[in-house]
Structure 1
Amino acid sequence: MLEELELRDLGPIHDAKLVPARGMTSITGETGAGKSMLLSALRLISGAPADASRVATGAKEAWAQGIFVVNEGDAALAIAQQAGAQCDDHEIFVARTVPASGRSRAILCGKTVPKSVLASLADELITIHGQSEQLRIASPARQREFLDRCADNDKERLAYAKAWNAYREIDDRLHRLSSQESSMRQQADYLRESIARIDRVDPRPGELEELKRQRERIEHAAQINAGVANALAALDASQGDGGDDYQSADALIQHAVHALRGIHLSGVFEQCADRLESARAEIEDVTFTLSQQLDLDSSGEDLDTLNGRIHELDELTRRWGPTLDDVIAWRDKARFDVEDLDASPEKLTELAAQRDECLRKAHKAASALTKTRERAAKRLSKDVDGELAQLAMAGSSLTIEVRAREGDGALDANGGDDVEFLFTPFKGSSALAMGKSASGGELSRLMLALELSAAGERAHKDAHKEGEAPEGDEVPPMTFIFDEVDAGVGGKAAVELGRRLARLARRAQVIVVTHLPQVASWADSQYVVGKKEDGDGIVSTHVREVIGDARTEEIARMLDGSTTATSLDHARELLASSKLS
C-alpha cells in the first residue's frame, strides 16, 4: 500500500505531498493543472525511464519518493532484502532523482540500486492503468500472467515447471552427447588415461606435505639428533653423558622441592613446592617426547625413496593441482564425467528412453495447467462482460482464448497453450486483440472490469478458505492507479464507474485521476491539483487535500464550474449518496 508520495520540482509542481487513503483516493483538478505529474512521479519510482525535460524550469533536479507499507512475507520485502536494503517496520522507501543533466539515481531504503530493482518492486506493489501502461496487457505473456493470477494455479504451475526442467535437462544432455559424439570420445579417452595415471600413483590426502616433512627431518637428522640429545641431557642427567658432577634441570628442581619441603611450614613455601612438582611433571613429559625423536633413520636409501615418491606427486599437482586434494577431487569428478561422455549406442538409447518419459510427464502436467486456465478464462470472461454492461459499455465483451498447442515443440517454459484476450467493442463487430480494438477510455474501463473480476475471484477463494473475507491489520497487497478510466463516460454510467472503483478499493488501494464528480465522490479522500499566481505573476501548481466544506466546493465546481447554492446542494447530495451498502 502506498502510504505517502512526495515530489519536488517535477514539471509545474515545485513541492507536493500526497497521503492516499487506505481505500480509494481521487485526484481532481482543471485540465492542464498538472495531474499527470503525480502519475509521472509514480512512474519514476516504478523504474520508468527518466526524462530530464520534466525537471522544473530553473531547478537542478526533480525528485520523487514513495513510502510503501507491506505485510510480513510479501514478495516486495524479499526483493528489497536481496538488493541489500534494510526495511524497518515493514516500510519500503523508494526514491528517484532526475538531474537537469546527467544520469538519474534510484534509491531503495537509503541504498543506491539499479532502476531495474525499482521495476521489480513496482510489479509487486503498483499497477498503473494509464494509456501507456495498458498496452503492456496486450502482450501474450502479460495476459497469461493475469489469467494465472485469477486461476490460483500455483500448484499446477510449480508441478509443470518441475517436469519441464527435468525434461529440458535430459534433452540437453542427450543432444550434447549425440551432436558431439566424436569430440566427446576423445575427451573421454583423455579422462580415462588421466584417471589411470593418477590411480597408478594412488595419492592420499595430505600425503605430499607429510612426505616433505619426513624428507626435511631426514636431511637434518644429524642436526636434530644433536640438538635433541643436548636438550635431554640438560633436562635429565640420566638421558645424557654430562658426568657425575653434571646436574640436570630435573635434579635441580627435585633439590629445590626437598629444600622447600624441609622448611615444614605451610603457606607460600608449600605452594611453591607444589608448583615445582607440577613443573617437574611437565619436564618429564617433554623429556619423554624428545626421547622418541632420537630414532630417526637417515639412510640414503630411504631418502631416495622419499624423493621419488615426492617427484611423482609433484607431477600430479602440476597437471591437476595446485594441491594433492585438488588432484583427487579432479579424478573423482572425472570418473562421473566419463560416464556422460561415453556416448555408446546403449547409453544414447537409455537416455532417449528417459527423455521420452520426462516428456510424457511434462505433457501430463501441461494438460493439468491448461485445464485450470480454461476454467478461469470461462469464469473471468463472464464476470468481465457483466462489469462492462454497468460501465457504459453494453454490447462489449471479452473473450479469453486458451489454445492448446499440438505437435513437436508444443511445450515451452510456460506450458502447452497460448492465451489471448480478444475484445469485442460492440455487437456484430469482430473480436480483435486488446489494444487494437479499444480506445484509451474503453481500455481503461476494460482493465477496471478485469481487476474487479479478479478481485472477486480472490474474495471468493479467501472466503472459501477462511470462511470470511480477510480483515485485521493487514494492508492492501496492491495499489491500483487508474487514469482516463472515465473518458467518454457520464450520467448513470459515471456513478456505476465510481461505485465499482469503490468496490475494488475494499480489497486493494485505489487511486483514480478523474474529472467526473460522480467518480470523485466515491473516494475516501480527495486531492485537488490547481494553479495559483503569486504577486509577481508567476504561476505554480499546488496539490492539496480537500476535506469537509472544501471538498463539497470542489465537487460543486466539477458539477457545473461554480459554487452556487444549487451546485453546493447537488454536491452534498452526491457525496451523501456515494456510499457502498
Structure 2
Amino acid sequence: MLVELRIENFGIVENARFRPGQGLNTITGETGSGKSLLLQALQMALGARAATGFIRNGSSRALIEAEFDASFQKELLHLLAEHDIPVSDGLVTLRRELYLTGRPRSLVNGVNVTGPLLKSIGSGLVEIHGQHDHQRLLDPAHHLDFLDSYAGTEELRDRVMRMFQRLTEIRKRLRSVSMEEEEKQQRLDFLRFAIDEIEDLEPAEGEFEALTNEKALMQNSGRVFQDLAEAYNLLYEDDHAVLTGLEQVERLLDRHGELFVGNLSSSVEGRAGDSRDATRGSYEEKLSMIRQSVYQLEAVVEFLREQRQRLQFSPERLEDVEERLQAYRRLHKKYGGTTTLVLQKRDSFLRELASIEMSEEEAALLKSEMSATEADLQELAGELSIRRRSVIPSLEEKLSSELAGLGMPGARIQVSVSRECATDSEERFVVHEKGFDLIEFFFNANEGEALQPLRKIASGGELSRITLALKSVILDRQSPATMVFDEVDTGVGGEVAHTIGQRLKELSERSQVIVITHLHQIASLGRFHFRISKHSRNSRTYSRVERLSGEERLRELARMLGGSDPALMQHVRGLLSVAEP
C-alpha cells in the first residue's frame, strides 16, 4: 500500500505530499492543475524513464520519494533480501533524484539500485491503468497479453519467448556460417575493413561533444582571452587593483579595531551592560565580511588565471581537433548518427565476424541444436496454447457478467483463437514470439447482434467499461496492493459513471485504489478525496495537493457539477450521504 508520495521541484510542483489511505482514494482538479504530474511522479518513482525536462524551472534537481507498506508482500520482500536491501517494519521507500547535470539516482531504502531492478520492485507494489489501456484494446496484438494475465501464463510465455529468441539467434548464426564462399569472403572483407576503420579512431563516448566545445572555445579565444586578462588586471595587477585596495582596507580596520571599540563604548557609558559587547560584535562582524570578500576575490583571481592559461591554444591544436572531428563525422555518417551507435555497430560487426569464421564442425553443431530447439519450442508452445484455451470459456463468462454490472446487459466478448500452419507441414504450426496463438477479441453491445472485431465497433464509453471489466476479472486472480486508475471514466457519464464508481469501490475492499477522475459520481464514492489545484505567486505557478472533507469536499463536487447554488449543494450532500458506508 502506498503510504506517502513526496515530490520536490517536479514540473509546477514545488513541494507536495500525497498520503492516500486504505480503500478508495479519488483525485480531482481542473484541467492543467497537475493531476498528470502526480501520476508521472509516481511512475518515475516506480522506475519509469527519468527525464530532466520535469525538473522545475530554476531548480537544479528534482526529488520523488514513494513510501510503501509491503508487510504482506512476501515475494517482494524476498526480492529485496536477494539484493541485500534492508527492510524495517515492512516499509519500502523508492527514491528518484533527477539532476540537470549528471546522471539520475535510484535508491530503495537508501541503497543504490539499477533501473531494471527498481522497475522490477515497483511492478510488485503498484499497478497503473491509464487511458493508454483503451488504445491497447483497439490493437489485437495486445489481446494476448490480457488473456495471459487472466490465465496466469506469463511465466510460461516468457519461457516460450526466451526459447524463440534462442532459436532466432541460432538461425542467424547458421545463415552466417552457411554463406556461399565468395559471398562469405566479401562479407569478411567488409567487416574487417569496417572494424579497423572504427578502431583506428578509438572513439570514446562524449569525446565528440567535448571536441566540439573545445573547437568553439578556441575559435573565440582571442576575445575571451582579452576579456579575462582585463578582468584579471582590474582585480589583481593594476596599480589600483580591487583586491589590493580591499586588503589595505582590511589592514587599516584590523589595526585600530580595539581603539575603535573603546571609543564607541565610552560614549555609551551608563547604558545597558552589554553595549560594549554589542559594539565589538558589530565591528568584528563587518571586519569579517571584508576578510571573506578578500578570500572570495582571491578565488576569483585564481580562476581567471587558470582560464587565461587554458586559452593559450596553438594553431596546431586547432588543426588536430578539427581533423579528429572530421574523422568522427565520417564514422557517424557511415555507421550511425552518434558515437554510441557507432560503437554498437562495431560490436555487432565483431559478433558477426566471429560467426562467419566458425568452422564447418560448428555449423553442424548449430544445425543439431536448431533441430532440438525447434522441437522443444513446438512442445512448449503447445502446452501454452492448451492452458490459454482452457480458461477462455471462464473469461468470456466473467466478462459478460462484469459488463452487465457496468450497465451493458446483453453485451458479450468472444475470444477468437487461430494458428498459422507451417509451410512444410500442416501438422506443425508457426511459432511466434508469444507462441502459436493469434488472439483477437470480438464484441457485440446488445444481445442478438453479430459479433464483430472489437477494434471496429466499440465506442469510447464502451471501451472504458470493457477496460474496467477486463481489469476487474484479471485482478480477481492477482490483486496488487495498490491500483491506480487514470481517468478510466473517459466517455461515460450519468448512471454508468456511478456504476463504474461502485465497481472501483468494490475493488478497493481488496486493495488500495487511487482514481483520477473528472466525474462527480465517482469522486463522491471515495473514502478519501484529494484535490489538486494550481495558483500563482510572484509570477510563478505552483501546484498543490490537499485532502478534502466537510464543506471543502462539498464545494469541489459542486464545482465538478458546474456551480454552487443551494439546490446543487443539497444534491451533493445527498450523493455523499448515499456513498457513506
User: TM-score over 0.5 for the alignment?
Assistant: yes
Q: 2:483 matched to 1:480?
A: yes
Name the aligned partner's letter for residue 68 of structure 2: F
**Where does residue 10 of structure 2 map in the other structure?**
10
- What is the rounded CA distance, in whole Å, between the counterparts of 1:440 and 1:98 in structure 2? 37
Counterpart AA for 1:547: S
Residues 557 and 563 of structure 1 are in contact (CA less than 8 Å); yes or no, is this contact kept in structure 2? Answer: no
Q: Corresponding residue for 1:447?
A: 467
Normalised to the residue count of structure 1, the TM-score between the two structures is 0.57
Worse-matched range after superposition: 411-420 or 132-141? 132-141
SS, match of residue 556 in structure 1: helix
Which of 542, 549, 552 is the equivalent residue of 1:540?
542
The match for 1:131 is 131
Deviation at 1:394, TM superposition (A): 6.5
Q: More deviation in 479-488 or 78-87?
A: 78-87
Tell me what 2:403 maps to: 388
CA shift for structure 1 position 562: 1.3
Secondary structure of the structure 2 residue equivalent to 1:381: helix
Equivalences for residues 89-488 of structure 1 within 5 A: 89-100=89-100, 103-132=103-132, 135=135, 143-153=143-153, 363=378, 365-391=380-406, 397-407=412-422, 410-411=430-431, 414-422=434-442, 431-432=452-453, 442-457=462-477, 477-488=480-491
Aligned length: 399
Distance verdict in 2 for CA 1:77–1:405, change over 3 Å = farther
The aligned counterpart of 1:54 is: 54
> Residues 403-444 of structure 1: CA distance to partner in whole angstroms, max 9, x if unpaired?
24433663356433233345667896884465x765666544
Distance in 2 (CA, whole Å) between partners of 1:36 and 1:142 is: 24
CA distance in 1, matches of 2:580, 2:392: 32
- On the 8 A contact 2:131/2:488 being kept in 1, the answer is no
Distance 2:360 2:34 in 1: 70
Where does residue 30 of structure 1 map in the other structure? 30
Secondary structure, counterpart of 1:550 in structure 2: helix
SS of aligned partner of 1:27? strand
After TM superposition, give the deviation of residue 158 of structure 1 in Å.
9.3
Give the Cα–Cα distance (whole angstroms) in 2 for the partners of residues 135 and 36 of structure 1. Answer: 18
Note the C-alpha offset of 1:10. 2.0
- AA aligned opposite 1:85: I
Cα deviation 1:522-551 (Å, max 9, x = unaligned): 2221111123455x5765322111134433
Which of structures 1 and 2 has the bigger CA Rg?
1
Corresponding position: 1:490 with 2:505 = no
Given that 1:45 and 1:96 are in contact with CA atoms closer than 8 Å, whether structure 2 keeps it comes out as: yes
CA distance in 2: counterparts of 1:99 and 1:442, whole angstroms: 42
Q: Residue in 2 aligned with 1:515?
A: 518
> What stretches of structure 1 of length at least 5 have no aligned partner?
181-340, 459-475
CA separation in 1, counterparts of 2:521 and 2:145?
33
Query: Counterpart amino acid of 1:453?
Result: V
* Shift in alpha-carbon separation, 1:73–1:125, aligned structure 2, 3 A: closer
Q: Measure the CA separation in 2 of the matches of 1:500 and 1:405.
A: 39
Q: Give secondary structure in 1 for the equivalent of 2:20.
A: coil
* Distance in 1 between residues matched to 2:105 and 2:461, nearest whole Å: 33
State whether residues 377 and 402 of structure 1, in contact with CA within 8 Å, keep that contact through their aligned partners in structure 2.
Answer: no
Range with greater deviation from structure 2 (49-58 or 492-501): 49-58
Structure 1 counterpart of 2:558: 556
Cα distance between partner residues in 2 of 1:97 and 1:380? 42
Report SS of the residue matched to 2:422: coil
- Give, as a single letter, the amino acid of the residue that structure 2 aligns with 1:46: L
- Is the contact made by 2:45 and 2:96 (CA closer than 8 Å) also made in structure 1? yes
Consecutive unaligned residues in structure 2, runs of 5 or more: 180-358, 424-428
Cα distance 1:359–1:374, how it changes in 2: closer, same or farther (>3 A)? same
8 A Cα contact 1:441 1:484, kept in partner:
no
Contact 2:133–2:467 (CA under 8 A) maintained in structure 1: no
What amino acid sits opposite 2:542 in the alignment?
A: S
One-letter amino acid of the structure 2 residue matched with residue 520 of structure 1:
A
> What amino acid does structure 2 have at the position aligned with 1:445?
R
Q: Which moved more, 1:30-39 or 1:126-135?
A: 126-135
- Which residue in the other structure is 2:63 paired with? 63
1:175–1:57: structure 2 CA closer, same or farther, 3 Å change rule?
A: closer
- Out of 523, 527, 530, the residue aligned to residue 527 of structure 1 is 530
Code of the residue aligned with 1:377 in structure 2: it is I
1:332 maps to none
Q: Which amino acid aligns with 1:494?
A: A
Q: What TM-score do the two structures reach when normalised by structure 2?
A: 0.57
